[in-house]
Amino acid sequence: MTKEQIIQNFDPSQPGLADATIFGLPFSEEQSEIVVIPVPWEVTVSYGSGASDGPEAVLDASFQVDLNHQDFPELWKLGIYYAEIPQEWKKNSDKYKDLAQPIIEALESGEDLETYPALMEDLHKINKACRELHTAVKEKTLQYINQGKKVVLLGGDHSTPLGYYEALATQHDNFGILHLDAHMDLRIAYEGFTYSHASIMYNALQIPQISKIVQVGIRDFCEQEVDVVKSSKGRVIVHTDSDLKKETFEGKTWQQQCVEIINQLPQKVCISFDIDGMYPWYCPNTGTPVPGGFSFEQATYLFNKLAESGKEIIGFDLVEVAPGENDDWDGNVGARMLFHMCGVLAKNNGMNVGNRICF
């Protein structure tokens, strides 16, 4: 069947098809305009774990998402496809995560790794494996971009988008990152891991095409990260949760704050959304939760304003969703945020997502 025939015969009001792709959609990879690349990876996690199971949790929960989105009621017709990835990505994540734990434990005990040749050798193996993963993600992203697809990344921990950014850098010579997170992620080779989840934005700064990183919701950072911000000479702009809340307590609206945030970004923007940027009750099982944050609706409002701002959204990543043992709440929140962000990307890029439903 052609895509048009599938659309005519598909009932979006029914539960998602169990044998379909993400959100229960009936389209093939070729027929879908948006491709989600899942990256089940969390090798360098040093606190809570589970992010490598995030993509599957989001996929499972996506079948319960109603397709008649108020802002983007015809988004589903574009087709969103959950890409097939090499099985060794998850296997290597588990393998090298186990290898990393003795290193982390030694450091937490105050040991000098230089006195443990075996641990140093394992550290080099881990850094090599992480680099290989990023290169593979870059190649997979470019594969779909070259097919004319809009590509998004679903982590995994926050280290996973580096290869994705590198792929975007081959297509765009100047873009910024709108970074929503509880953490700055500007640590330099945290715990010796070059590609730590806590180092993603520092590593992003090494990509010359990334001209600006605007961080929103930050509420946990170290002295080294503050030094990186100060030495960036305006390349990194930080909106801490404390500062944003203080402004709202004193009368500034979220709408005004969003306008300021968006105006600080260059013309082309990639969104990086660590789910722990939101209030912890949205995703209580995320790896490194911190009190405070913003609401689901604040995030979607910011994304909607960005889509309408005249800026060009070139992609996004959604990371650090970790499923709970006894419920699928985190996956549910992640799936709904992913669907909304796909709508924002599509609308901003001139795709037909329908008119907002008003009551």
Angle subtended at Cα 162 by Cα 156 and Cα 163, rounded to the nearest 5 degrees: 100
SS3 sequence of the chain: CCHHHHHHHCCCCCCCCCCCCHHHCCCCCCCCCEEEEEECCCCCCCCCCCHHHHHHHHHHHHCCCCCCCCCCCCHHHHCEEECCCCCHHHHHHHHHHHHHHHHHHHHHCCCCHHHCHHHHHHHHHHHHHHHHHHHHHHHHHHHHHCCCCEEEEEECCCCCCHHHHHHHHHHCCCEEEEEECCECCCCCCHHHCCCCHHHHHHHHHCCCCEEEEEEEEECECCHHHHHHHHHCCCCEEEEEHHHHHHHHHCCCCHHHHHHHHHHCCCCEEEEEEEHHHECCCCCCCCCCCCCCCECHHHHHHHHHHHHCCCCEEEEEEEECCCCCCCCCHHHHHHHHHHHHHHHHHHHHCCCCCCCCCCC
**Residue 275 covered by a domain:** yes
Q: What is the pTM of this model?
A: 0.97
**What is d(CA 330, CA 286) in angstroms, rounded to the nearest whole number?**
8
What pLDDT tens digit does each residue of the chain (359 aa) get? 899 999 999 999 987 777 799 999 999 999 999 999 999 999 998 766 789 999 999 999 999 999 999 999 999 999 999 999 999 999 999 999 999 999 999 998 999 998 999 999 999 999 999 999 999 999 999 999 999 999 999 999 999 999 999 999 999 999 999 999 999 999 999 999 999 999 999 999 999 999 999 999 999 999 999 999 999 999 999 999 999 999 999 999 999 999 999 999 999 999 999 999 999 999 999 888 899 999 999 999 999 999 999 999 999 999 999 998 877 899 999 999 999 999 999 999 999 999 999 99
Q: CA of 238: how far to CAs of 178, 214, 287, in Å?
A: 10, 6, 22
**What is d(CA 218, CA 242) in angstroms, rounded to the nearest whole number?**
8
Domains: count for the chain: 1
**Residue 249 covered by a domain:** yes
Q: Which domain holds residue 152?
A: 3-348
Q: Are 169 and 145 in contact (CB under 8 A)?
A: no
**Residue 354 covered by a domain:** no
Specify the pLDDT at position 47.
65
Handedness of CA 334, 320, 22, 305 (dihedral sign): positive
**Residue 39 covered by a domain:** yes
**Residue 355 covered by a domain:** no
Q: Do strands 80-82 and 210-218 pair parallel, antiparallel, or not at all (unpaired)? A: unpaired
Q: CA of 239: how far to CAs of 21, 45, 46, 257, 295, in Å?
A: 37, 25, 25, 10, 16
Specify the pLDDT at position 45.
82
Domain CATH for 343: 3.40.800.10
Residue type, 178: L
Residue type, 118: A
**What is d(CA 329, CA 224) in angstroms, rounded to the nearest whole number?**
34
**What does R_g of the chain's alpha carbons equal in angstroms?**
20
